[in-house]
Chain A
Amino acid sequence: MALQSFGLIFFILLAVGMPLYLVLGGTAVFMYWLNGDPVVGVFQKMLDGLNSDTLLAVPFFVMAAAFMEKGGVAKAMIDLVALLVGRVRGGMAIVAIVACTLFAAICGSSVATAMAMGAIMVPAMRARNYPMPFSLGILAASGTLGILIPPSLAMILYALIAEESVPRLFLAGVVPGIMQASIFVAYAMYYSYRYKLPREETQHYPPGYRRMVVVRALPALSLPLIVIIGVYGGFVTVTEASVLTAVTALLIGVFFYKGFPLRATLGEIADAVRSAAVITIIIATALAFAQWLTASGVPAAIVSYIAEIGLKPWQFLMIVNILLIIMGMFLETVSIMLISLPILIPLLHPLGIDPIHFAVVMTINMELALLTAPVGLNLFVLSNVSKTPLSVVTKGVFPLECLLFALLMLVTYVPEISLWLPNLVYGK
């Protein structure tokens, strides 16, 4: 009875467009009340669950992303990459992918990556007469690297719900992230040669120009080093790295790139905290919801059902991938993760699936969700930035979505791709 009530209430509330925190919190309150548990437990869990040092990394990385987006970091990176790889055929597409990869290494958000890169790269690619669907597809798909390459907000969310190590999760995203960027570069090169996209003309830069571009990019390039050297050198925790990244991004954005004035800082921070608050309140209610879910025995019932029908891990992963892709069409990423993880995480151990490996599978699914119509947010971002119909972006992103799906299959069934690096650094 409780289970049926739960399922019914949950999906009705979702369908009528109720905010997700209210769906999770409201369901938790109702189920506590239905089971005769004290309702105060919901609010106690919300407050206690948020009392976590790891959670602070979310607002600080969101602050860092805002400072970088406004601060002119993206332009410095693009100039550097254009200098290095811009002269091959279709060079601007490769510049877009490599610059997105670099930006992803300092920013944990896919939307921020697509927005920052799109604002600069769309006019550049348009000026060179690149086909718009191709340009927008490349930018939308490469922007999703923001949540795969560390630091990643998606991985931090996963760590909070699954109680996993954030540095280990970050490392697990590195190899698949580099693979994704390489696959996209290969596709861009193939497309450029096939459709004879223009080469960049050999430019005669004024003396000192190259040096100036490199020097200008150095502060931006120092940002990923804070996470890499700081966290993996054992000097700081992930939260401390997020604080250092935010402070450094603020200083170089205001004083070096002069992207925004110092007096605008308070407003930028307030907006970043509010953005983080959108996620935080969902985490809080998801934790209360997960507590009820675990106590209700739903995951245990699913585990015994799986054992009964003899479901193999590969079959389970296939089913989960299909479900996540379907959910990705209709829900956005935070919702998918916080709805599905409390149910899926307890099933991993009995099936012998490594939660770190599963985190990468989940994240690539979230990347696909960002690109899948009708609710793929990166599609909207690029459509808005370029003032182009959504159908143009959707058309351009389709081949890259297929490639991303192929990568998902590879990562799902070859766990070593995700686990090799964390196991190498931390041991099994």
Chain B
Amino acid sequence: MLSKFLRQIVGLIGLVTMLLYFYQIVSTWLFHAYSIYWFAEVAVYALTWAMFVASADLVKIDGHIRADFCVSRFSNPTQRWCEVFNCTVGLCFGLLMLWYGWQLAYDAWDWDERSPTGLAFPLWIYYTAAPISGALLTYRYIERLWLYLTAYDPQSMALTSNEVM
């Protein structure tokens, strides 16, 4: 449910960003008077925000790149405890990201920190990517940790790696 919702949000941000950026490029060439210069800057913030949040949700489908050459040769119980350790580190990292990300976003809001451009974009909006991503990471790692501790199934939970390049 949460993943489906996030997928739609991320897809929507991707689509809107692509169209806004496209409009800016075309308007700069063809009808300069209607060009809106700050679309590109907003596109950077929006898409980076979306990628930050999407990356946290990838924990659910084990979509992150890992070097599994060594660990895939371990026995199933060893693999299981390695993953429990990985989830614990992930959980700590998520909590730190939530805490420090919150501090960054709050300070940016408190000091009215803005981008050094004509738009003067309020940076706290962009910085919320860190606490939101941290909260999601924490939630996903608790979920995964629970799964590995209580319902480990070697058939379906074997380690995999993926790549996009």
A interface residues, Cβ below 8 angstroms from B: 13-22, 25-26, 29, 39-40, 42-44, 46-47, 50-53, 55-56, 59-60, 62-63, 108-111, 146-147, 153-154, 235-236, 239-240, 243-244, 246-247, 265-267, 269-270, 272-282, 284, 330-335, 366, 374-375, 377
Query: Is there an interface contact between B18 and A269, defined as CB atoms closer than 8 Å?
Result: yes
Interface of B is mostly: helix
B40 at the binding interface (Cβ < 8 Å): yes
Beta-carbon contacts under 8 Å, B103-146 to A: 103-104, 126-127, 129-130
Does B34 make an interface contact (CB < 8 A)? no
Is the beta-carbon distance between B18 and A247 smaller than 8 angstroms? yes
Q: In the bound complex, how far is the Cα of B96 from the Cα of A60, in angstroms?
A: 30
CB distance from A222 to the nearest CB of B (A): 16
List the B residue with the shortest CB-CB distance to A378: B163
Q: Is the CB of B82 within 8 A of A17?
A: yes
B58 touching A26, Cβ below 8 Å: no
Q: Are A276 and B100 also in contact (CB < 8 A) when A22-B90, A25-B93, A330-B69 are? A: no
B11 within 8 A of A: yes
Interface pair A278/B66, CB less than 8 Å apart: no
The answer for the CA separation of A240 and B70 in the assembled complex, in Å, is 41
Contact of B14 among A21, A55, A59 (CB under 8 A): A59
Q: Which residues of B contact A282 (CB under 8 A)?
A: 65
The answer, yes or no, to whether B36 is at the interface (CB within 8 Å) is no
Which one of B55, B69, B127 lies within 8 Å of A277 (CB-CB)?
B55
Which of the listed residues B51, B68, B97, B164 has the most CB atoms from chain A within 10 Å of its own CB?
Answer: B164
Question: B159's closest neighbor in chain A, by CB?
Answer: A17
* A50 lies within 8 A of B52 (CB): yes
**Residue in contact with A274 in the complex, picked from B54, B82, B129, B159, CB distance below 8 Å:** B54
Contact A240 B25 (CB under 8 A): yes
Chain A residues near B82 (CB-CB < 8 A): 16-17
What's the nearest-Cβ distance from chain A to residue B41, in Å? 8
Query: Do the beta carbons of B52 and A280 come within 8 Å of each other?
Result: yes
> Does the CB pair A334–B7 fall under 8 Å?
no
State which of B10, B63, B69, B163 has its C-beta within 8 Å of the C-beta of A270.
Answer: B10
B44 CB within 8 Å of chain A: yes
Residues of B close to A377: CB separation below 8 A: 163
**Least distance between A43 CB and chain B CB atoms (Å):** 5
A19 — which chain B residues lie within 8 A by C-beta? Answer: 64-66, 86, 90
Q: Are B89 and A13 in contact (CB under 8 A)?
A: yes
**Could you say which residues of chain A place their CB within 8 Å of the CB of B50?**
273, 277
Q: CA A355 – CA B153 in complex, angstroms?
A: 47
A278–B93 Cα gap in the complex (Å)? 17
CB distance from A327 to the nearest CB of B (A): 10
A371 to chain B, nearest CB (A): 13
Distance in Å: Cβ of B123 to nearest Cβ of chain A: 9
**Chain A hits for B79, CB < 8 A:** 17
Is A277 touching B18 in the complex (CB atoms < 8 A)? no
